[in-house]
Structure formats: C-alpha cells, structure tokens
Amino acid sequence: MPESYLVTAGLPYANGSIHIGHLVEYLMADTYVRALRMSGHEAVFVCADDTHGTPIEINARKAGKTPQEFVALYAEEHIRDFHRFSIEFDSFSSTNSEENRRWVHEIYARLRDGGHLIERDLEQLYDTEAKRFLPDRFVKGTCPKCGTEDQYGDVCESCKTTYEPKDLINPRSVLTDSTPVLKTSTHLFVPLKTYQDFLRDWTHTESRLQPEVRKFVEAWLQEDLKDWCISRDAPYFGFEIPDRPGKFFYVWLDAPVGYIASTEQWAKTAGTPKAVDQFWREGRGKIIHIIGKDIIYFHTLFWPATLHAAGLRVPDRIQVHGMLTVDGVKMSKTRGTFINASTYLEHLDPMYLRFFLTSKTGASLTDIDLGVDEFVHRVNAELVNNLANLLSRSLSFLNTKLDGIYGHLEADTEPYILQAKEALRLGEAQYAGFDLSGAVRSALDIATLGNKLFQDGAPWKVLKEDPEKARNLVTLCLNLARAAVVMIAPALPTLAEKVYPMLGLSLRPTRFEEGAAFDLVAPRRAGAHDRIIDRITRKEFDQIVEATKALAPPAPEASPSPVEPLAPEIDIETFSKVDLRVGRVLSASTVEGATKLLRLEVDLGEDKPRQIFAGIRSAYPPEALIGKNVLVAANLKPRQMKFGLSEGMVLAAGPGGKDIWLAEFPEEVTPGNRVH
C-alpha cells in the first residue's frame, strides 16, 4: 500500500566543502528516497545548511565577511556539488531562515510556558576588550600540568592533558592578547532527565532504532541525563532568544528544527502549505532521519525530547550509518584522502562513486571502506564488464545484425524471467530495509544471468542458420538488462536515464514493476546505442589523491618523532602469558570528573561484558566506538579506579590528543577470539 515518508539527511555545516565522507550519507538518503518512489510511495526529501554557531562566526570574521555572506558562499557550493552527484532534495534550505526562526520561537515558547526550562549560572573566561566570552581555542596560556607555555584552553600539545580554559596559568585572549577575567553568566537549560521515561518508551518502540543503536542509547538512559544548556552569550551567530536580550539559542537547538523549516519551504513551493503541519503536527506519513554515528546523542535524546516537550511529532525512525574510511583508515588531509566532492568530480564520473558507495552501504553501523584497489576493480568488473557490457553487446548485436527489432520471448525462457522477477522483489525489499548493498547485488545478479545466457547461447554462431533464434536470445538478454537497470536505477539514476532511450524506452524508469514487464518484444525496436561507461584505472584515483594533497595547507614543520626505543627482549613463553582477545564495544560513555577517559562495555564472548576505562576521549567521540572490534589485554589484573573497576585494557597507538588510534579487527571476527 502506498505510504507517505518525510526523509531527512544530516545538515552539512556551512563552514566547509562537501567531501566524500559526507557523500556516504547523502547518496544513501537519495537512493533510499528514489527507491521509495519507485515502490509507489510518496517521499519528501529535505535538508538544509547548518549555519549557526561560533566556528562560523569566527571564520567569517577571519575571511572579512559577515556570517551571512560567509554561509551564502558555502550554500551555493553545497547545492552545486549535490546536484552534480544527482542528489536531489525537494528542499535544501538554511537554518538561518525566517521559517526556522519562527519554529524555534514556537518551540522555545512551548518549553518555557510548559515549565521545561531552568536557569543556572556558569563561570567562564571573558575578554573585557573584545567584550566576549572566550571559547576554548581563544584562550592560550601555560599548561597547569607540565608548565609548557603557549597552550590552548582545552588541551596541552606537549603533555596531552585536557583541562578547562580557566585552569591555564597566565591565560590570555587570542583575540586581544589581554588577560581574560572570570565572569558569571546566567544560562538556560533543558532538564533532560524529566524526559527520561518518555525517551525510554520512545527508544523501545519497534523499528525506531537499529538494535545496536538502541543498546547504546539504553546505556545512556541508565544514568540520569545531564541538563542541556541551550543558550549562548553574544556575540554569537544565531537566533536571539526573544525575552533574553544578548542571549542566543545554541546552534544544536536550532539545527534540527531546520528539518521542519525545510519541510515548510518545500510545502510552500509545492503549493501545499499545509503539508508541513500534516507531517510535524498531525501524523501524515513517517518521519525518517538518516544520520552518521557521530550525532546519535543529539538525535536520540535532545531532539525527540524537544519535539515531545513542544507537542510536535517525534521521528519514527533514526537510521544510522557507519563512517567512511579510505584504505581502512580515517580520511586524512596529509594522505590526500580527505577528498572534496568537487575534486573528485574534476577527475571521475560521479556514477562510479555512487555505484561503489551504495554497493558498500548496508543497514548496519559498520564503517564503510573505500579501498582504492577494490573501487577500481569493482567498478570495472561489476559495473562496466557485467551490467554495461550486457547492454552494449546485446544492443550492438541487435542493431548491427538484426535491424534493431526485438524478437519474442520463447516458452523455455520462463525460468529465467521468474529468476529475474524474484531478484527484483528481493532488491525492492532490500532498498526498503536500507540494505542498498544487497539491492545493488540483486541487480548485478540479473545482469550476470543475462551475460551467461548471451555467452552460452552464442548468437553470433546461431545468426546464419537461424536469425530469429538469435534475435529471440538477444531479446531475452535485453529484457534482463532492462530489469537490472530498473533495479539499480535508485543508486544510478543517470545510468538509467542514459540507457532507457537506447532500449527504445522513454525517459527513465519510474517504478520497479517496469523491470518485471518483459515487454521489449516485436514489433518494438531498440534505439541507437552509444558508449555507456568506460573502465577506470588506479591512476585516475591517484590523481584525485594528488590534487587533494595540493589543496591541503602545508604540513607544519616536520617534527621528527623518534621511534621509542624497544623494550628488552622476551621469550615466547613470557609473551604467551599475555592473553590478547578480540572485544566488541557495546557501549561507550564519558566519565564525570575524568576528562581523558571513556567508560566502555566490551563483549569478550563471556557471560557478561567487561567494564573497561580507556584514556581515548580526546581522540574518539563515544558514539564512534559503537560496534568496533578492538584488541583487549584480557588477563590483566582488574584495576580499581576512582570511577569503578577496569577489567582489562584496550590497546591503541599514537602520541596522544587527537592522534590516538585503536587497534581494530574487521567485523567478521568473533568477540572473544584469542589473538596470537
């Protein structure tokens, strides 16, 4: 039965370019929306630039622009990049819009009038010359721990200690070089624990969260949620709080409200202005947010609590995806793998990346790896040599040897047609369940079948003796190719648009049913065929990497980091005393009063997970650890810490700060496996 959906993708921050890491999500959302429509559903796809907050205010100032001018430049760039990747929003708005301001005001009024806000004083460093409170990175001073001078207000580059800006010795403002003073300011908080029961119910509702996300959120909900500060002091780029002159809404309050404001902009443009209330107040359709792992906390706690408190509809589903890695590691500017969408587009057709990323995107939170050799190999083997090849060889044969006229589907082709129809049904269900990878596979399976029939049937041999038999065989192959194209159309819309006229069909596929039609038969004829898509080489991708390196700011003067001298030699018996195991992170949370630590629950295949404290908070947001397979020293004597018992150690490398990397295993490895 046709249903109605409102689908959102995370709002890109208007402070930088769209890169291939972002594209994982936008391609996933765009493909999902296209598939919903091809299944006959109504789907509205909205997004917006996230424009507010201190980083934008400060970067605009550095660029000599107003924040409005600054975000306008990125809006233009974002819209252009999305369009070139065929990512088609029904509305791509901005959180700095009048619609958004009105919605934020309404939500604020409901929170305030419902008694859902509390006031509290905060003490922060204040620059009396610049007349502003100073964010962490706008204060420098001497490290309170090791005494190194000229350190930022959040972390010491030398000893990696993290602290509050007010802990610095001899602090001074980066803006004016004056000595900041401590100043008290009153702020507004949402007491999230008021909503704890509501959030528990919301979390437990079937199909709202993926099971692994639910576990994660449940762990947060086991403890009292902290009050959430929703105000910031001027100067701030954002919406001023109506009855609090000089106070602004924190960007994380107004950013998700941008989903609603963008829905309103769509509704107006579509000539159905009431649709925004139908979706957000009245219960039309399903509201689905597609997000990355890094913003789970905001979307599963703050956002539903805020909507609930304001009497608006809460989301029906939050679909979380893994992060992009390149050749198995985080994207990196210096390695040239932090690739902007626009840099990629200068070298390769967007279709290749759409194909590869959707073919790797499933319904789980597993990180998505762009292995460069795998990318090149699979594009060539699966997209070019399988799907495009079936189309090219069959079309070319029909057009050059048989006047381009289709034949008939013979009686003995029925099993193949049934097989293709089955793959179409499966693929449609896979798209609906966010298993894009499975759906792409289903399409390729149909193409593989077509290629095998072409090869085995050898129409070039049959042609002389029985041209009609050859025509019928090629006709079957082209009907299968069409089914595969229809199946893959949500992932590769431009391929479908290019190929449909070649098959003698109009425009583009609009429904999955078309793939099961098998109606490319006499007296219809194929259209003129053309090259569909070319093979790629590793060299082309390497050029993208080189171009990205050239964009990166010059590396800071090489600081030779001498390799730590080796520890004294040990024998194998001594080594084998250390029991190393694969552990899967079930939950991760910050620890009150410990700025460096995360508290992990790690599954080692035992009766119950272990609690392990790890000093990795500076390098990993807790959400990013969800589902990771890590390396654990498992027979280490448990250590009683101030915060609880630590039952093991997770192993990591790196100098500290942001540069800490956990040793990881692929998801296929079972937790509890011993590492030898």
Q: Residue 628: helix, strand or coil by DSSP? A: coil
Least distance between Zn ion and beta carbon 145 (Å) = 5
Tokens 């500017």: give the residue.
333
Nearer to Zn ion, 169 or 578 (CB): 169
Least distance between Zn ion and beta carbon 143 (Å) = 3
The span from the CA of 516 to the CA of 484, in Å, is 10
Nearer to Zn ion, 15 or 158 (CB): 158
Nearer to Zn ion, 168 or 532 (CB): 168
Nearer to Zn ion, 622 or 656 (CB): 656
Least distance between Zn ion and beta carbon 168 (Å) = 10
Length of the chain: 676
Nearer to Zn ion, 102 or 145 (CB): 145
What is each CA distance from 63 to 56, 73, 140, in whole angstroms? 10, 12, 22
Least distance between Zn ion and beta carbon 162 (Å) = 10
Q: Strand pairing partners for 45?
A: 7
Least distance between Zn ion and beta carbon 155 (Å) = 9
Least distance between Zn ion and beta carbon 662 (Å) = 23
Nearer to Zn ion, 139 or 275 (CB): 139
Least distance between Zn ion and beta carbon 144 (Å) = 8
Least distance between Zn ion and beta carbon 537 (Å) = 48
Nearer to Zn ion, 159 or 348 (CB): 159
Please, what's the b/e burial string for 422-445 (b: 16 or more CB within 10 A of its CB; e: otherwise)? ebbebbbebbeebbbbbbbbbbbb
Amino acid at 32: Y
The count of C-alpha atoms lying within 13 angstroms of the C-alpha of 650, restricted to the half-sphere facing its C-beta, is: 32
The C-alpha R_g of the chain, in whole angstroms, comes to 28
Nearer to Zn ion, 150 or 592 (CB): 150
Least distance between Zn ion and beta carbon 654 (Å) = 17
**Contact of 660 with 649, CB cutoff 8 Å:** no
Nearer to Zn ion, 292 or 656 (CB): 656
582 CB-near residues (< 8 Å, 6+ apart): 604, 629, 630, 631, 632, 665, 669, 670, 671, 672, 673, 675
Q: What is the 3-state secondary structure (H, E, C) of 292-314?
A: EHHHHHHHHHHHHHHHHHCCCCC
Least distance between Zn ion and beta carbon 147 (Å) = 7
Least distance between Zn ion and beta carbon 142 (Å) = 9
**Contact of 93 with 35, CB cutoff 8 Å:** no
Least distance between Zn ion and beta carbon 38 (Å) = 57
Nearer to Zn ion, 588 or 660 (CB): 660
Nearer to Zn ion, 158 or 176 (CB): 158
DSSP 504: T
**Contact of 98 with 239, CB cutoff 8 Å:** no
**Contact of 73 with 63, CB cutoff 8 Å:** no
Sign of CA dihedral 641, 644, 646, 651: negative
Strands 286-292 and 4-9: parallel
Least distance between Zn ion and beta carbon 158 (Å) = 5
Q: Strand pairing partners for 190?
A: 228
Nearer to Zn ion, 52 or 617 (CB): 617
Interacting residue ranges for Zn ion, rule: CB under 5 A: 143, 145-146, 148, 156, 158-159
The span from the CA of 390 to the CA of 488, in Å, is 14
Strands 644-646 and 247-249: unpaired
Nearer to Zn ion, 407 or 656 (CB): 656
Helices assigned H by DSSP within 94-175: 98-113
CB < 8 Å & 24+ apart, contacts of 305-308: 305/190, 305/192, 305/195, 305/198, 305/199, 306/107, 306/111, 306/190, 306/253, 306/256, 308/195, 308/198, 308/202
What is each CA distance from 201 to 107, 119, 193, in whole angstroms? 22, 28, 14
